[in-house]
Structure 1
Amino acid sequence: MIELRELTKRYGDRVAVDRLNVRVQPGVVTGFLGPNGSGKSTTMRMILGLDAPDHGEALIGGVPYADLSWPLRSVGALLDAGAFHPGRSGHAHLTALAASNDIPASRVERVLRVVGLSDAATRRAGTYSLGMRQRLGVAVALLGDPGVLLLDEPVNGLDPEGIRWIRNLLRGLAAEGRTVLVSSHLITEMALTADRLVVIGRGRLLAETTVAELAAGHDTLEDAFLRLTAPTTDHRGTETS
């Protein structure tokens, strides 16, 4: 389980994340939604120990990310699809990560098959398309067979077939009892992928609920989301803080 307790982050006078209290449960896909600039990426970076909170804490299985003995084997993350050396092949990139995290080499071939990159594994990653880079990022997240997965905009750059693939993959991983947190701005895709939703605006929690409960009384989930987040955006659709 991922647990956020009074999680707060400030940049000067601006509060990016404001006393966020959330529990992300295993066994379901949880969509993490909010307008641009609402604090989603900052929150995910704090969960992964990349940014330090000014107050509160982010826990994974009851401990901070920094206290995990083998982080890649506990938590898989995709925050930046370009986080690789462009001169290395996809296979070499994964092999180096596996060796440094005491992960069996057999996992490299397995995750390459899962993400559909076996045929491109020996090509330099710098030649990959955006969709292929996303798939490589997913392979990295899956490499350690983790129980917790955090993915920021995982369908970015994927074609319709790839979007369906990632949707089915995430739901399958959750069905295995893993904790899956997915940040996205594609509301309609979250309606097809997620079981639960965490919605934030200006860094504050607006809703922690199921997809069905949030959509109740509205024509679509998108309508419900826009109504819920309207106070946190201006009339041009740009966040005011």
Structure 2
Amino acid sequence: MIELRELTKRYGRRVAVDGLSVRVQPGVVTGFLGPNGSGKSTTMRMILGLDAPDSGAALIDGVPYRQLDRPLTRVGALLDAGAFHPGRSARAHLTALAASNDLRSTRVEHVLRIVGLTEAAGRRTGTYSLGMRQRLGVAVALLGDPAVLMLDEPVNGLDPEGIRWIRDLLRGLAAEGRTVFVSSHLIAEMALTADRLVVIGRGRLLAETTVAELAAGGDSLEDAFFRLTSETTDYRGAEAA
């Protein structure tokens, strides 16, 4: 389980995440939604120990990420689809990760099959399309067979077939009892993928609910989302700039 306890992060005078308290449960896909600049990526980075909170805590199974033993086997994450050496092949990248984390080499071929990259595994990642890099990122997240998965915009760059594939994959992983936490700006896709939703705006929790409950009353999920977040979205500063 992922648990956030009054998680807060400031950059100068700007509050990126503001007292966020959430529990992400196993066995369901939890969508993480919010307008641009709402603090989603900062929150995910704090969960993974990449950014330190100013106050509060981000815990995985009750402890911070940095205290996890063999973290790749506990948490799989996709935050940046371009985080690969362009001159290294996908197979070489995964093999190096497996060796550094004491994982069996058979896991490399297994995850390559899952993400559909077996035939392209010998190619340099610098030649990959964005969709292929996304698939490789998912392979990295799955490499340690973790119980917790965190993915930031996993369908970015995927074609319709790839989007359906990632949707089915995430729902299948959740059905196995894993914790699946997915950030996305595609509201309609979250309506098809997620069971539960965490919605934030300006770093604050706006809703922690099910997809059905948020869209109750005849609204589409998109309409319900825009209504919920309307007062936390302000692009005037960006337009003036």
Instruction: Tell me the TM-score normalized by structure 1.
Output: 0.97
Superposed counterparts of 1:192-207, under 5 Å: 192-207=192-207
Q: How does 1:167-182 map to 2 (within 5 A)?
A: 167-182=167-182
Deviation for aligned residue 1:235? 6.7
SS at match of 2:119: helix
> 1:103 matched to which residue of 2?
103
| Residue in structure 1 matched with residue 74 of structure 2 by the alignment | 74
Could you tell me how far 1:217 is from its partner in structure 2?
1.3
| Residue correspondence of structure 1 range 87-126 to structure 2 within 5 A | 87-126=87-126
Q: CA contact under 8 A between 1:36 and 1:238: conserved in structure 2?
A: no
Q: Secondary structure at the match of 1:118?
A: coil
CA distance in structure 1 between the partners assigned to 2:27 and 2:146 by the alignment: 13
Distance (Å, rounded) in 2 between the aligned partners of 1:90 and 1:115? 12
Partners of 2:235 and 2:67 lie apart in 1 by 43
Query: 1:78-127 CA deviation, whole Å, 9 max, x = no partner?
Result: 00000110000000000000000011100000000000000000000110
Deviation digits for residues 162-186 of structure 1, max 9, x if unmatched? 0000000000000000000000000
* Residues 1:213 and 1:236: Cα distance change in structure 2 (over 3 Å): farther
Q: Structure 2 unaligned segments of length 5 or more: list them.
A: none
**Cα shift readout 1:135-189 (whole Å, capped 9, x = no counterpart):** 0000000000000000000000000000000000000000000000000000000
Aligned counterparts of 1:172 and 1:164: Cα–Cα separation in 2: 12
TM-score by length of 2: 0.97
Distance 1:218 1:228, change over 3 A: farther
Match of 2:146 in 1: 146
Segments ≥4 residues shifted beyond 4 Å: 235-239
Cα contact 1:33–1:183 (8 A) shared by 2: yes
State the AA in 1 paired with 2:126: G
Q: Unpaired runs of 5+ in structure 1?
A: none
Is the alpha carbon distance of 1:235 and 1:38 closer, same or farther for their aligned partners in structure 2, counting shifts above 3 Å? closer
Q: Deviations over 1:38-87 (max 9, x none)?
A: 00000000000000000000000000000001010100000000011000
Secondary structure in 1 matching 2:189: helix
* Cα distance, 1:234 vs structure 2: 2.6
How many Å separate the matches in 2 of 1:238 and 1:224? 25
The CA distance in 1 between the partners of 2:68 and 2:104, in whole Å, is 19
Q: Aligned partners of 2:29 and 2:127: how far apart in 1? A: 32
Distance in 2 between the 1:237 and 1:75 partners? 37
Aligned residues: 240
Q: What amino acid maps onto 1:81 in structure 2?
A: A
Conserved 8 A contact 1:9-1:17: yes
Q: Is the 8 A contact 1:34 1:185 kept in 2?
A: yes
The one-letter code sitting in structure 1 at the alignment partner of 2:100 is S
Identity %: 85
How far, CA to CA, are the matches of 1:9 and 1:163 in structure 2? 32
